[in-house]
């Protein structure tokens, strides 16, 4: 079956051109993707044109955003710049009653969101592998069959991601308690704030939605690697030793070369993912690495799957922030340059 689905163009939905003066602390930002490397795979596997999420953090003393970026969770100065990446701005809304349209929150009502962001930023957590983890989560929890990538290459990509993330863990690049990718960081700040005001929770039709109990009820599974693995493991009564077919250490394998191979492949047809020991072994290896990264210990395979389901319930893609928030308005777009230096707050 041909895959003719084109990603939504954010410029058609975020039509108003903004200035920095239009932005308010707490605004949800999604960045236009860059057409190379991991960014290209993120766009491919999410069928989108955005690859990064952030929270507008402050107007003064300098305009800044907060995000989980390549250096960790930090604030960064931003400025308008011609030719910079387009950033799409949405703003949470609240119900004003049956006879009134939804309306944005007053700025002071978002202080719990900004307090949550400040808490994470002030920890100064460093982990230089945000894009790797985001790609790993997308591969596990998204339906990637429409990408048209051959299963053998998917297996290799899973194994290489697991090896590289495991090496970063072993090298102790990050020992903090709060590991988050960019879009999940934004979601988490609002979720934390919702403990003070339930209306501040982001409501999503998410790309990687959790549907608890459907496998047990006999409902046809979704086409995600996680669901495929969970079904396969259940068929083996969670004794997955026979899945073990990994090819040893792959930390020296070039991720860039795999990405280049994937991007050069013709991808006209949807692929069907087939259960196999090799694929399940690669999925399990990456899941175990992610559990170690997110500090979610498990005693057996059933607990691994339960933890992974809990992790999926918290996973949000950049495309979710751009298009799938039910209680937000699409304010407009702005060309922003995000400074690399971490801002002291």
- How far apart (Å, rounded) are the C-alpha atoms in residues 22 and 51? 23
Please, which pLDDT band fits residue 4 given cuts at 50, 70 and 90? low
Residue 3 is assigned to a structural domain of this protein: no
Q: Which H helix or E strand runs over 319?
A: helix 318-323
Looking at the fold, whether 162 and 245 belong to one and the same domain comes out as yes
Does 36 fall in a domain?
yes
pLDDT in tens, 207-224: 554 444 444 444 444 679
Is cis: bond before 30, omega within 30 of 0?
no
- State the residue range of the domain holding 250: 130-172+209-314
Give yes or no: residues 90 and 167 share one domain.
Answer: no
Examine the domain organization and report whether 285 and 201 are in the same domain: no
**How far, in Å, CA of 31 to CA of 53, rounded?**
6
Q: Is residue 1 part of a domain?
A: no
What average pLDDT does this structure show over 72-89? 94
183 with 238, same domain: the answer is: no
Q: At 57, which CATH number?
A: 3.90.1720
pLDDT of residue 207: 56
Determine, yes or no, domain membership for 34: yes
Kindly tell me if the per-residue pLDDT of 320 is higher than 50.
yes
* 272 assigned to some structural domain: yes
182 has a pLDDT exceeding 70: yes
Asked if 300 and 161 sit in the same domain, the reply is yes
**Quick one: tokens of 22?**
């239009």
- Do both 159 and 179 map to the same domain? no
Structure tokens at 222: 């979704």
Are 267 and 158 within one domain? yes
Q: What angle do helix axes 130-141 and 225-235 make, rounded to 10 degrees?
A: 60
Cα 258 from Cα 248, distance rounded (Å)? 17
Question: In a 10 Å sphere around its CB, with 0-12 CB exposed, 13-18 middle and 19+ buried, how is residue 235 labelled?
Answer: exposed
Strand partners, 277: none
Q: Is residue 2 part of a domain?
A: no
270 and 178 in a common domain? no
Please tell me whether residues 214 and 151 are part of one structural domain.
yes
The answer to the question of residue 76 being in a domain is yes
Residue range 166-183: mean pLDDT, rounded: 74
pLDDT tier at 116, thresholds 50, 70, 90: very high
Instruction: Mark whether 219 and 281 lie in a shared domain.
Output: yes
pLDDT at residue 251 tops 90: no
Nearest to 185 by CA among 93, 318, 90, 46: 318
Residues 62-80 have a mean pLDDT of 91
Say yes or no: 254 and 146 in one domain: yes
Shared domain check, 251 and 166: yes
Residue 35 in any domain: the answer is yes
* Number of domains present in the structure of the chain: 2
């Amino acid at each position: 079956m041909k895959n003719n689905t084109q990603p939504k163009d954010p410029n058609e939905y975020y039509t108003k051109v903004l200035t920095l003066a239009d932005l308010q602390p707490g605004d949800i930002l999604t960045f236009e993707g860059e057409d190379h490397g991991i960014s290209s795979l993120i766009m491919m596997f999410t069928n989108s044109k955005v690859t990064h999420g952030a929270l507008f953090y402050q107007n003064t003393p300098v305009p800044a955003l907060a995000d989980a970026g390549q250096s960790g969770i930090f604030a960064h100065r931003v400025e308008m710049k011609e030719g910079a990446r387009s950033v799409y701005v949405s703003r949470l809304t609240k119900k004003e009653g049956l006879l009134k349209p939804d309306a944005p929150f007053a700025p002071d009502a978002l202080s719990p969101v900004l307090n949550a962001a400040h808490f994470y930023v002030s920890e100064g957590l460093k982990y230089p592998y945000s894009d790797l983890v985001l790609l790993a989560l997308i591969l596990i929890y998204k339906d990637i069959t429409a990408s048209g990538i051959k299963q053998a290459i998917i297996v290799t990509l899973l194994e290489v991601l697991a090896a590289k993330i495991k090496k970063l863990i072993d090298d102790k690049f990050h020992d903090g308690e709060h590991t988050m990718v960019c879009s999940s960081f934004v979601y988490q700040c609002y979720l934390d704030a919702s403990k003070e005001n339930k209306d501040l929770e982001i409501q999503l039709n998410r790309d990687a939605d959790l549907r608890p109990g459907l496998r047990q009820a006999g409902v046809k599974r979704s086409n995600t690697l996680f669901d495929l693995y969970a079904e396969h493991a259940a068929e083996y009564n969670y004794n997955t030793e026979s899945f073990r077919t990994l090819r040893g250490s792959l930390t020296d394998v070039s991720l860039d070369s795999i990405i280049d191979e994937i991007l050069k492949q013709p991808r006209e047809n949807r692929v069907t993912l087939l259960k196999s020991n090799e694929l399940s072994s690669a999925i399990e290896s990456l899941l175990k690495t992610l559990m170690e990264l997110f500090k979610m210990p498990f005693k057996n395979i059933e607990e691994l799957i339960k933890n992974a389901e809990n992790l999926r319930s918290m996973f949000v893609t950049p495309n979710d922030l751009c298009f799938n928030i039910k209680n937000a308005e699409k304010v407009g777009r702005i060309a922003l340059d995000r400074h690399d230096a971490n801002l002291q707050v």
